[in-house]
Amino acid sequence: MRITYREACRQAIRDALLADPRCFVMGEDVGKYGGCYAVTKGLLEEFGPQRIIDTPLAENGFTGLGVGAALAGLRPIVEIMTCNFSLLALDQIMNNAATLPHMSGGQFAVPLVIRMATGGGRQLAAQHSHSLEGWFAHIPGLKVLVPGTVEDARWMLAAALADPNPVLIFEHIVLYNAEDELDPAVTGVDIAHARVRRAGRDVTLVTYGNSLPKCLAAAETLAAQGIEAEVIDLRVLRPLDMATVTASVTRTRRVVIVDEGWKSGSISAEIAARLAEDALYELDAPVRRVCSREVPVPYAAHMEEATLPRVDDIAAAAHALVKPS
């Protein structure tokens, strides 16, 4: 069955609502409007206003309500329209959701799922286009998921809801229209491990989210040049599955990390540091990173495109490692 990433997200939410009467959705425009990106369209009519709840423009308030509901035994799915706005709820996410299980000595669980859109590429300008998932991956007590495929978008939510601790799911805005075949034999995915999306022998491309299709396209370009790139989809930014990354780098001896976040203090920096600590002597060339330009994401289409990682940039970085001039 061929479906869009958007429809995969909707089916996942609908399944969760059908499976557990404790589950409900809460966020800005999730009800009558059907979600800012149309993910929750039709759910209000099916499940009613007690389970599909439109909230005021008050991220800190309704995220705190989600924390309280989770503590009380419910299974809330909180939608934050864009990850830029999640900063308004950072106090609730970091100081309450992530810490209460630890501060209570495990007496209280916070089974909260927060979904939010991330990334640029849709000309939504600087207040709606950044990639902040690496910031949240810095916080102990959270699990941070970034589905880069239709299959992961379809099945990660169920695994997140089954987790007793808070889980953040970042859905890239450009991927909502992406289509792919959904294998009917697959009925779940794990939320602990990276995946090898393409095998290769010459260089490893490590990425996640909307940079995954870019890396796969770059790998095709490199293949035409006689370079076989292995593509690793991180999928989970916290906890990082460094074992899969290190195993790939041990085989290929070269690595390019592609991250739509800014290079300074990014998840790409964390991966590079861990490779330097634990796999330095497996590398035959320096670690290279392809990240967004360190500016607020512009509105103009040509400037936005130049700001974000591009297929040609990824291919050029990998080519320079394998066949330096």
- Burial label, 81 (beta-carbon count in 10 A; 0-12, 13-18, 19+): buried
Is residue 116 within 8 Å of residue 87, measured between CB atoms?
no
**Tokens 């400037």 label which residue?**
303
Is residue 309 within 8 Å of residue 291, measured between CB atoms?
yes
Is residue 229 within 8 Å of residue 191, measured between CB atoms?
no
What is the C-alpha to C-alpha distance for residues 148 and 111, in angstroms, rounded to an integer? 23
Among the listed residues 7, 128, 133, 304, the single catalytic one is 128
Kindly report whether the peptide bond that precedes residue 239 is cis, defined as omega within 30 degrees of 0: yes
Expressed in angstroms, the distance from the first to the final Cα of the chain is 46
Q: Three-class SS of residue 304?
A: helix
Strand extents, DSSP E, 107-239 = 113-118, 143-145, 167-172, 179-181, 195-198, 203-207, 229-233, 236-238
Which of 196, 191, 294 minimizes the C-alpha distance to 246?
Answer: 196
| Catalytic residue flag (residue 128) | yes
What is the C-alpha to C-alpha distance for residues 214 and 310, in angstroms, rounded to an integer? 7
Look up residue 24 and give its two tokens.
């409900």
| Catalytic residue flag (residue 302) | no
Among the listed residues 7, 59, 171, 270, the single catalytic one is 59
Q: Three-class SS of residue 89?
A: helix
**Catalytic positions:** 59, 128
